[in-house]
Amino acid sequence: MNKDLKKIFTEEQLQKTDAIIEQHKEIKGSLLIVLEKIQDVCGYLPLSLQRYIAGKMMLPPSQVYGVVTFYSYFSTTPKGKNVVKVCTGTACYMKGSGQILKKTREYLGIKEGEVTPDGEYSVEEVLCPGVCGLAPLVIIGEEAFGLVDPDKPEDIFKQYKENFHDRSGSDKN
Partner 1 sequence: MKALYQLSLADKVELVETDCLISCQEGPSIMLLPSGRVAQVNPGHNFTAWLIANIAALYHSPHRPSISLRGDAEIPPIEQMGFFSKQELVVMRNRGHIDAENIEEYIAHDGYMALYKVLTALEPEDVIKEIKSSGLRGRGGAGFPTGLKWEETRGYKTNPKYVICNGDEGDPGAFMDRSLMESDPHAIIEGMAICGYAIGAPQGYIYVRAEYPLAVKMLQTAIDNAVKKNLLGRNIMKSGFNFNIGIYPGAGAFVCGESTALMFSIEGKRGMPRIKPPRSAEAGLWEKPTCLNNVETFANIPQIIRRGADWFKSFGTPESTGTKVFSMSGAVRNVGLVEVPMGITVRSLIFDIGGGIKGNAKFKAVQLGGPSGGCLTEEHLDIPITFDSLQNVGSMMGSGGVVVMDDTNCMVDVARFFTQFSVDESCGKCVPCRTGLSVILSILEKIIMGNGVPEDLHELETLALHIQKTSHCGLGQAAPNPVLSTLRYFRHEYEAHIYDKRCPALVCTDLIHFEINADNCKKCGLCAKVCPAGAISWQKKEMPVIDKIICTKCKSCIRACKFEAIY
Query: Which lies closer to partner 1 via its Cβ, residue 15 or residue 77?
Result: 77
Buried/exposed 54-83: b ≥16 CB within 10 Å, e otherwise? beebeeeeeebbebbeeeeebbeeebbebb
Query: Which lies closer to partner 1 via its Cβ, residue 4 or residue 134?
Result: 134
Q: How far is the CB of 6 from partner 1 (least distance, A)?
A: 27
Q: How far is the CB of 167 from partner 1 (least distance, A)?
A: 15
Query: Which lies closer to partner 1 via its Cβ, residue 8 or residue 132?
Result: 132
Query: Which lies closer to partner 1 via its Cβ, residue 2 or residue 173?
Result: 173
Q: How far is the CB of 86 from partner 1 (least distance, A)?
A: 13
User: HEC states along the chain?
Assistant: CHHHHHHHCCHHHHHHHHHHHHHHCCCCCCHHHHHHHHHHHHCCCCHHHHHHHHHHHCCCHHHHHHHHHHCCCCCCCCCCCEEEEEECCHHHHHCCHHHHHHHHHHHHCCCCCCECCCCCEEEEEECCCCCHHHCCCEEECCEEECCCCCCCCHHHHHHHHHHHHCCCCCCCC
Q: How far is the CB of 3 from partner 1 (least distance, A)?
A: 28
Query: Which lies closer to partner 1 via its Cβ, residue 4 or residue 65?
Result: 65
Q: How far is the CB of 142 from partner 1 (least distance, A)?
A: 9
* Interacting residue ranges for partner 1, rule: CB under 8 A: 28-33, 35-36, 63, 66-67, 70-74, 88-94, 99, 126-135, 151, 173
